[in-house]
């Protein structure tokens, strides 16, 4: 091999390494824009057709102002604290709110920081702080921990698990949860050292064993975003009592449906009477 060829190969290698380092650095700096996809309409509840709903502004522990919707429970019913996924905002989920409300449940929908009309920018620490603020707001209004049912959708499952690990709730339902968001990201970005670079890992596996509340996991068997194996791993590590429902042909969008909400409400009603 000639000296010129060696020099050319060396130059190509140096360029490739430099390009990889640049891309990795870019992904590190911009990673939260690939993890959180907020909507920012910030609509009031009545603007999306909901009735009997209080538009709430609450303060997080670190000074953000958070948008939320609240409807009180009918006598003898629990209150559902709902933590949404990484896309959109609560205004996109009015049908779910109405479904819970129609069955007499109290309902509290929180817009994390950076979502809806809430101030700030999303991060793992921030979202968990926001969930604490929602929980504390409910208990200050007289809703006891024995009346709080927690729902976490997708990314919201990571927030819900951390909240339930440190605050008592009556029961917990997780939709398409992961054992760790880093597992999901590492599979999607296999060519990057994700576990080294990722800031917001939402390591639910590390928290699930601290939860004593009854647990329901609902997962689709064809989920291409959060594989079923992630939900199964989290379920295996959880304490009893626990239930898992696998939806045949269910993908990451299709399971967030009226049938899922009904299953959750039936689960909650069973444990509310115990």
Domain ranges of the chain: 1-34, 39-272
Between the CA atoms of 156, 132, 170 and 270, what dihedral angle is there, to the nearest 10 degrees? -40
Residue 173 to residue 267: CA distance in whole angstroms: 9
Q: Are 104 and 268 in contact (CB under 8 A)?
A: no
Q: Name the superfamily (CATH) of residues 39-272.
A: Alpha/Beta hydrolase fold, catalytic domain (3.40.50.1820)
Residue 85 to residue 47: CA distance in whole angstroms: 21
Handedness of CA 207, 213, 214, 218 (dihedral sign): negative
Between the CA atoms of 246, 204, 265 and 136, what dihedral angle is there, to the nearest 10 degrees? -170
Q: Are 173 and 218 in contact (CB under 8 A)?
A: yes
Which has the closest alpha carbon to 57: 70, 73, 72, 38? Answer: 70
Q: Are 155 and 126 in contact (CB under 8 A)?
A: no
Structure tokens at 132: 């604490």
Q: What share of the chain is helix, strand, coil (3-state, %, to 5)?
A: 45, 20, 35
Query: In degrees, to the nearest 5, what angle opens at C-alpha 184 toward C-alphas 180 and 187?
Result: 135
Q: What is the pLDDT along the chain (274 residues), one digit of tens a residue?
A: 555 665 667 777 777 888 888 888 888 999 999 999 999 999 999 999 999 999 999 999 999 999 999 999 999 999 999 999 999 999 999 999 999 999 999 999 999 999 999 999 999 999 999 999 999 999 999 999 999 999 999 999 999 999 999 999 999 999 999 999 999 999 999 999 999 999 999 999 999 999 999 999 999 999 999 999 999 999 999 999 999 999 999 999 999 999 999 999 999 999 987 7
Structure tokens at 97: 């709110």
Q: What is the pTM of this model?
A: 0.94
């Amino acid at each position: 091999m000639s000296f010129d060829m060696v020099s050319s190969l060396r130059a190509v290698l140096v360029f490739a390494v430099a390009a990889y380092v640049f891309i990795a650095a870019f992904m590190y700096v911009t990673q939260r824009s690939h993890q959180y996809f907020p909507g920012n309409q910030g609509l009031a509840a009545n603007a999306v057709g909901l009735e009997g709903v209080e538009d709430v502004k609450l303060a997080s522990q670190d000074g953000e102002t958070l948008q939320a919707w609240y409807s009180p429970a009918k006598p003898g019913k629990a209150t559902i604290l709902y933590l949404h996924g990484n896309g959109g905002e609560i205004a996109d989920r009015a049908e779910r709110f109405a479904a819970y409300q129609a069955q007499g449940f109290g309902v509290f929908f929180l817009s994390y920081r950076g979502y809806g009309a809430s101030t700030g920018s999303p991060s793992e620490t921030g979202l968990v702080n926001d969930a604490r603020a929602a929980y504390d707001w409910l208990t200050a209004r007289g809703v006891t921990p024995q009346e709080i049912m927690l729902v976490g959708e997708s990314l919201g499952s990571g927030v819900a698990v951390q909240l339930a690990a440190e605050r008592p709730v009556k029961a917990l339902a997780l939709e398409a949860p992961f054992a760790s968001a880093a597992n999901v990201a590492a599979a999607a970005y296999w060519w990057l050292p994700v576990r080294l670079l990722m800031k917001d890992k939402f390591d639910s596996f590390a928290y699930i064993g601290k939860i004593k509340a009854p647990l329901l996991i609902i997962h689709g068997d064809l989920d291409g975003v959060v594989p079923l194996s992630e939900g199964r791993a989290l379920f295996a590590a959880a304490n009893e009592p626990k239930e898992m429902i696998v939806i045949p042909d269910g993908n990451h969008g299709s399971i967030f449906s009226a049938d899922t909400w009904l299953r959750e409400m039936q689960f909650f009603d069973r444990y509310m009477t115990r």
